[in-house]
Amino acid sequence: GSVSTYLHGLSLGSRVAFKHLPSNMAEQYPFPTKRTITMLAAGTGITPMCQVLHKVLGNPGDERKVVLLYGSQTPSDILLKEELDVWARTLPHRLTLVHVLGTRSDDPLPAGWKPSSESATAEAGWIDRQKVEKYAFPPAK
């Protein structure tokens, strides 16, 4: 939508402010005009995203596709990991899960670490423009 278009037009290093929606995202489901959803979350910000994922992925009649870029400092900081792994493993045609790990933008992935689900992906550093461009659905026109 318009926010995606705006974000894709930002220069590298631009600062972006986010705010909490006055309504619960899960209550806005079923998002009738959206066939694809890109989610960006870090740390505890995964909890409202999981509420939406429950609604979208838990509805057998909903074929919407979701990309989730989820940032954590370390593998042990990944919240709701088991639940995310189950979705990534059982619904790889609907959920693209990208774990982004690091405390700095140039951090490498921890030695030997890889996602426990083969259908999930791991990236090092922070969620940045390059990762969003690589994984996210294109902005709506």
pLDDT, tens digit, for every residue of 55-85? 899 988 889 999 999 999 999 999 999 999 9
- Cα gap 115→133, rounded to integer Å: 21
At residue 127, does pLDDT exceed 90?
A: yes
Average pLDDT, the chain: 87
74 found inside a domain: yes
38 labelled ligand-binding: no
16 labelled ligand-binding: no
- Cα gap 61→80, rounded to integer Å: 24
User: 5-43 pLDDT, tens per residue?
Assistant: 777 788 888 888 766 666 665 566 777 778 899 999 999
For residue 67, what is the domain's CATH number? 3.40.50.80
- Residues 97, 125 contacting (CB under 8 angstroms): no
75 found inside a domain: yes
User: 90-103 pLDDT, tens per residue?
Assistant: 999 999 999 999 98
Q: Quick one: tokens of 59?
A: 């509805």
118 found inside a domain: yes
Q: pTM of the entire structure?
A: 0.79
- Residue 39: name the closest of 5, 4, 66 by CA: 66
Residue 112 main-chain phi, psi, to 5 deg: 80, -5
Q: Look at the alpha carbons of 36, 41, 46, 47 in this order and tell me if their dihedral is positive or negative.
A: negative
122 found inside a domain: yes
Number of domains in the chain: 1
4 labelled ligand-binding: yes
| Mean pLDDT computed over 126-130 | 93
- Cα gap 48→26, rounded to integer Å: 8
Q: What is the pLDDT of residue 66?
A: 95
Q: How far is CA 38 from CA 84, 94, 131, 139, in A?
A: 15, 12, 12, 9
Residue 61, domain extent: 2-11+35-135
- Cα gap 33→8, rounded to integer Å: 21
52 found inside a domain: yes
